[in-house]
Chains A and B, each alone.
Chain A
Amino acid sequence: MKTAAEIRDEIESLSAIPTLPTVLTDVLKLIDREDVSVNQIGDFISEDQALSARVLKMVNSPIYGFPGRISSINQALMLIGLGVLKGMLTGVAIFDVMQKTMVGLWEHSIGAAAAARIIAQKAGIKEVEEASVAGLIHDLGKVALGVCYPAEFGQCVERARAEQKYIFDLERDIMGVSHAEAGSWLARKWNFPRQLVEAVAYHHKPRLAKEAKKLAATVHLADALIKMTGFGFGGDPFVHPVDEEAWALLGLSDDDVKDILLELEDSISGTVLSF
């Protein structure tokens, strides 16, 4: 078995997920450059009709909380900021590879994005778009492990099904690292905002987060709630025990949770067009 350090090296050497379109790799590089303005980035994305259509479709869906209001990439950039856009672009662009990694993983991810946004609103978190993106990419590590170690990750998926276990535990047993660690390595390597890196790293253990405890707590609960609904598939159907500290940090009442569940079902069962 490879050591965690060797696995980390291999995952960090993924300059891009293999099937990512070149335009996305170029955009991600552009976002990291300090001499390029937000408008220039917006214009560059707008030149690729397929990518901008996907981003606008996503940003206008209830998952991101601006249903039907954003008509241009530049407008999206003004509202969500570059850091969040970077996460969103990655989430949108890994759609295809997510579908190949695990049937239902994309649905699980967009469901978690919607849940995270609604939880963040209820918990009084200002950066709701950041919460959505954190939910969208929280399982980035499953894609990384699936791409770098298809045989071992496939074994995790198969054993999780056959033995009715958490895939998180099997990843650690079989590969010595979890998708949370793998995802955070990749997110850090790709210069994602630190808050997003922490949310990915600690979505199973939010109390370990240092700077983004509330965001990690939000994704932790979003992951649980979306599993409760059975929407999508993240490798196993089991809710993890919800962390008491994370729960207390969010300060949600039973009525809040009831409201969140109702709104979540509206989000995942249809797209709202606001007039």
Chain B
Amino acid sequence: MKLARPVENESGIALYGAGMELTPAIIERLKAMGTEAVFIEGAIEYRFPKKADYLAVVETAFSKTGGKAINANLRKIMKAHVEAIYGSR
């Protein structure tokens, strides 16, 4: 069982990197630090696309919904979401 994402302290400094094997000793240390949960490598393999590719996926997804208000709003939220997640990475 390996970490899928780094474990960081409150200052954002990575204590354990992605790919680190989660041994019982490390799990105990994480618990002692007050860590409630970590991301582990799972059965689902997903790589985030590049921002431009992700935005293209969104455009294609909404290319047949016409001017329906709910879909227009969802499209707006989704585009803002993509902008936000790439802004934070």
Given contacts A244-B70, A268-B44, A271-B44, contact A262 B81 (CB under 8 A): yes
- The docked-state distance in angstroms from the alpha carbon of A112 to that of B38 is 23
Task: List chain A residues, Cβ under 8 A from B49.
Answer: 230
Given contacts A230-B57, A271-B4, contact A239 B65 (CB under 8 A): yes
Task: List chain A residues, Cβ under 8 A from B57.
Answer: 228-230, 237
Given contacts A230-B49, A239-B62, A270-B4, contact A67 B37 (CB under 8 A): yes
Given contacts A107-B44, A110-B44, A261-B81, contact A272 B37 (CB under 8 A): yes
Interface string of A16-45 (1 = CB under 8 A from B): 000000000000000000000000000000
Task: List chain B residues, Cβ under 8 A from A49.
Answer: none
Interface string of A48-87 (1 = CB under 8 A from B): 0000000001000100000110000000000000000000
| Complex partner residue of B61 from A107, A239, A257, A270, CB under 8 angstroms | A239
Interface residues on B, range: 35 or more
Query: Which residue, of A110, A241, A261, A270, has the highest number of chain B Cβ atoms within 10 A?
Result: A270
- The docked-state distance in angstroms from the alpha carbon of A272 to that of B22 is 13
Nearest Cβ in chain B — how far from A263, in angstroms? 11
Residue of A nearest to B60 (CB): A237
A158 interfacial by beta-carbon distance below 8 Å: no
Interface string of B33-51 (1 = CB under 8 A from A): 0011111111110101100
Asked whether A242 lies within 8 Å of B37 as measured between CB atoms, the reply is: no
Given contacts A262-B81, A269-B48, A271-B41, contact A230 B71 (CB under 8 A): no
Asked whether A237 lies within 8 Å of B42 as measured between CB atoms, the reply is: no
B63 interfacial by beta-carbon distance below 8 Å: yes
| Complex partner residue of A240 from B40, B42, B43, B65, CB under 8 angstroms | B65
Given contacts A242-B70, A242-B74, A244-B70, contact A275 B35 (CB under 8 A): yes
Asked whether A271 lies within 8 Å of B68 as measured between CB atoms, the reply is: no
Interface residues on A, range: 35 or more
Asked whether A273 lies within 8 Å of B38 as measured between CB atoms, the reply is: yes
| Complex partner residue of A272 from B40, B43, B80, CB under 8 angstroms | B40
Residue of A nearest to B1 (CB): A273
A231 interfacial by beta-carbon distance below 8 Å: yes
Among A114-134, those with CB < 8 Å from B are none
Interchain Cβ contacts under 8 Å between A and B, 21 examples: A61-B43, A107-B44, A230-B49, A230-B54, A238-B65, A241-B65, A241-B66, A241-B68, A244-B70, A247-B70, A258-B81, A261-B81, A266-B39, A269-B44, A270-B44, A270-B46, A271-B42, A272-B37, A272-B38, A275-B31, A275-B38
Beyond A240-B65, A271-B4: 16 further Cβ-contacts under 8 Å? Answer: A166-B64, A228-B74, A230-B61, A239-B64, A239-B71, A241-B65, A241-B66, A242-B74, A244-B70, A257-B74, A257-B77, A258-B80, A270-B39, A273-B38, A274-B37, A275-B30
